[in-house]
Structure 1
Amino acid sequence: MTAAMPFDYDGELVCYQRRLHSVLDIGPDDLVLDVGCGTGQATREAARVASRGSALGVDVSAPMLERARRQAEIEGVGNVEFLQADAQSHPFPAEHFTVALSRFGTMFFADPMVAFTNIGRALRPGAPFVQLVWQAREHQEWSTAIRAALSSGDDRTPSADAAFSLADPKTTADVLTSAGFTTIEVTDLHEPVHYGATAAEARESVLQLLMAAELLSDKDTAVRRSAMTRLDATLAAHDTDNGVWFDSRAWLVTARRG
């Protein structure tokens, strides 16, 4: 049996990656920190722009970092490194980085205040910190539609709940301010997310999500079969001539280290 391909987060977030890259003010000499870098697409793109500088991607997932390193080697990006660490507590060199970014990687901190303070210490005074975070669940069709398909009631999914921990822009701005950041701006972004070239491919992708595992883990065969039927119908309804897409909204949060 052929193993399923790993979930393609870069494909999912292709529209948001364009938006993030368009606002990052990275120069050739910058030292970039990518928080929660995943498979490292944003890190590699930042490293290419910071051609005389460097980019460091940090994540807690060893498998994702392995893919990030392999892809950097394939693409010939030599001024990039990837570190398995928790950015909330890792002892980064003080006032070292000139830019920090995160593409949906900061919502999962156990203590955002501690995490943002630690990231702030690693930035030089005045350095920008640019984040993408999800808005509230009700604005995320990818979450509401898949949850409706796979759920048999009020099932809890801790992993998905955590994804919306920074959905309130005022709360996020307050935490950043308390952590020593200034000039905080929050911009509404509205982009679709991509789950596969076909409904069949999207089905494989969805079933690799932790949210799906949590919704299906304790279900018997009949319930799971019904859930799969609903999921197939949902994915077919979102299958376009250009793949399977779901609606979503995010906040672009920009701040500067005080």
Structure 2
Amino acid sequence: MGAASNSTFDYDAELSRYYQHLRAAMDVQPDDTVLDIGCGTGQTTREAAKLATQGSALGVDVSPAMVTRARQLAEGLHNVRFAEADAQVHPFEPEHFTLGVSRFGTMFFADPVKAFTNIRRALAPGARLVQLVWQGSDQQEWVAEINLALAGEIPEPATTGAFSLADPASVDGLLTSAGFVEVSVTEVREPVFYGVDADAAVNGVLALMMTSDLLTRLDAEETEQAVARLRSTMVKHTSTDGVWFDSRAWLITARR
């Protein structure tokens, strides 16, 4: 998803079903040196560090708040560290990392070729890059339902922001241009979690930037009606284990 306006939204919970796919594809080895791109609060980085018992993991993110929280959650892990850094331009140690990973953290680069070229330089020869990215916005139930509730319409398919890497052919060309080989794109379809109940889901969604952007166009009465519609939507998607929406992603692997 897009960036949150505050820390209320729990991305780790939202993406819990996807994480199992990423974890398996990462296949972290004991001596790996791992770079986690767009690490957020560091779940993937911590997991990598625990598996790389003779190696280490570095998580980078542009959000100071996320990096601060990641450091707090990683206290006690000796082989993990975090940096507030933009992977697009950060001067990583050349050919240092044996594995690059990202859980929905690579879609927001202003210059993707430049960014992935910089990441490729940081990877050792033969190192793998494993990432999850969203498929098109028209493949995401959460996009349609939230926009219907708050704006009364489903938006035109987006090709920027969270969905900038939605086209497999473009991704292949992009990574190849950046110097990667053996590019593979595999579909993954899992539901995303929005809260334990409708109220929690509404509160979480209201913290998202995409929601605030929609609501700024409305007056007070319209906002109240929109939030009521949003709650009805969350009720409709509530099951015994919380509020879930269908979604689709790509698991992309490549080699340096």
TM score, norm. by length of structure 2: 0.94
1:5 offset after TM fit, Å?
A: 6.2
Corresponding residue of 1:177: 176
Corresponding residue of 1:60: 62
**1: distance between equivalents of 2:231 and 2:183?**
42
- Partner SS for 1:124: strand
1:25 offset after TM fit, Å?
A: 2.2
1:103 aligns with 2:74: no
Contact 1:155 1:215 survives alignment (8 Å): no
Corresponding residue of 1:23: 25
* Superposed structure 1 runs of 4+ greater than 6 Å apart: none
More off after superposition, 20-29 vs 182-191 = 20-29
- Partner SS for 2:184: strand
More off after superposition, 4-13 vs 78-87 = 4-13
- Partner SS for 1:98: strand
**2: distance between equivalents of 1:68 and 1:147?**
31
Contact 1:40 1:57 survives alignment (8 Å): yes
Corresponding residue of 1:36: 38
**2: distance between equivalents of 1:144 and 1:86?**
30
TM score, norm. by length of structure 1: 0.94
1:153 offset after TM fit, Å?
A: 5.4
- Partner SS for 2:124: coil
1:6 offset after TM fit, Å?
A: 2.2
One-letter amino acid of the counterpart of residue 37, structure 1: C
- Partner SS for 1:52: coil
Which consecutive unaligned segments of at least 5 residues does structure 1 have? Answer: none
Relative distance call for 1:154 and 1:134 in structure 2 (3 A) is closer
Which consecutive unaligned segments of at least 5 residues does structure 2 have? Answer: 1-5
Corresponding residue of 1:113: 113
1:127 offset after TM fit, Å?
A: 0.3
Corresponding residue of 2:130: 130
Q: How many residues align?
A: 251
* Structure 1 residues 178-210: Cα deviation after superposition (integer angstroms, max 9, x where no partner): 100000100000000001001110111000011
Corresponding residue of 1:85: 85
Relative distance call for 1:27 and 1:102 in structure 2 (3 A) is same
- Partner SS for 2:255: strand
Corresponding residue of 2:253: 254
1:154 offset after TM fit, Å?
A: 7.6
Contact 1:206 1:212 survives alignment (8 Å): yes
**2: distance between equivalents of 1:183 and 1:153?**
40
**1: distance between equivalents of 2:179 and 2:94?**
14
- Partner SS for 2:163: coil
1:239 aligns with 2:241: no
Percent identity over the alignment is 56
